[in-house]
Structure 1
Amino acid sequence: MPRMVGRAKRVPVPEELRTLALAPRHLSLLAYLLFDGPMGVNGLASRLGVAPTTVSLMVGELSRKGVLERRESEADRRRKIVSISEEHRDTIQRWLGRGATAWRQALAPLTADQRRMFVDTLAAYERGLGED
């Protein structure tokens, strides 16, 4: 696990994004939008395990930098849908997409039950990290 985390940390931020001062908290948000597609602030907050106000602040910051776009939901005009801007989508895909491809390749030979056990094991590990 430490080798895996160390390798992930060494993946450099693409030159096109270096001036944007992206922090680790931004990477998870960008990964969810890249892999799961556009979504609302509450959906992002749920996935990230933080308050919607925290996500709103991050989205505002990244929107001002041109990384994210916000648009009204077709179903509910009061709700904003967040997505990666077209200007940065390809760069972010090349940067973060490699991890998704690696996971898909690693999990492909497993049965559905084996994948579930693997994911459950990682979730238990994550929970254990949070315990005192």
Structure 2
Amino acid sequence: MAADGGERAGLGTDEAVRAMLLHMPRVIGRLKRTPLPERLRSARLAPRHLSLLAYLLFDGPMGVGELAERLEVAPTTVSLMVSDLSRQGVLDRRADPADRRRAIVALTEEPATREAIERWLANGSAAWRKAFEPLTPAERALFVRTMQTYEDEAARGDLPGA
């Protein structure tokens, strides 16, 4: 595994790039093949819904604007996703009692649907927990920052050779 997994004491930049370029397609493929629980199959959920549902599961109900900010998409995009998932019984959308113009989005209270959402997210959560457990808090933070930087740079699309 040292040749592509990097289990040696350290990796040079080129070795690390090679390891990640070989590893990431397998990770992405596995994510795409993660089956939806039966209860959610009719909802036509896609990987983009995973982050939205994870925010609501981990952080609780929030406004459309806050979700858009966290997901780094336009509020209209979130609003369309929320409307679609609300019609399908996956999310609840209600007016904020403090400001009736503001919509608050939450996971449905329906137990079978909520349990299905938790099951869909559980495998990824358990895998990350196992990966992060042996790391120090500083190492975890470094990994998260590294992934954020990779995403930002890959999204730019103006890198050499792109």
Deviation at 1:124, TM superposition (A): 1.2
Counterparts of residues 5-24 of structure 1 (less than 5 Å): 5-24=28-47
Gaps of 5+ in 2: 1-23
Deviation at 1:129, TM superposition (A): 1.1
Q: Which of 148, 153, 158 does residue 123 from structure 1 map onto?
A: 148
Deviation at 1:84, TM superposition (A): 1.0
- Specify the alignment match of 1:89 in structure 2: 114
Local SS of the residue matching 1:101: helix
- Specify the alignment match of 2:131 in structure 1: 106
Distance in 1 of aligned mates of 2:55 and 2:29? 21
Local SS of the residue matching 1:103: helix
Larger radius of gyration: 2
Distance in 1 of aligned mates of 2:48 and 2:148? 19
Local SS of the residue matching 1:12: coil
Distance in 2 of aligned mates of 1:115 and 1:47? 20
Q: Which residue identity lines up with residue 120 of structure 2 in the other structure? A: W
Distance in 2 of aligned mates of 1:23 and 1:109? 31
Contact 2:93 2:104 in 1 (8 A): yes
Deviation at 1:58, TM superposition (A): 0.9
Gaps of 5+ in 1: none
Local SS of the residue matching 2:92: strand
Percent of matched pairs sharing the same residue = 63
- Specify the alignment match of 2:70 in structure 1: 47
Q: Which of 48, 52, 62 does residue 85 from structure 2 map onto?
A: 62
Q: Which residue identity lines up with residue 77 of structure 1 in the other structure? A: R
Deviation at 1:74, TM superposition (A): 4.1
Deviation at 1:63, TM superposition (A): 0.6
Q: Which of 57, 73, 85 does residue 34 from structure 1 map onto?
A: 57
Alignment length (residue pairs)? 132
Deviation at 1:69, TM superposition (A): 0.2
- Specify the alignment match of 1:77 in structure 2: 100
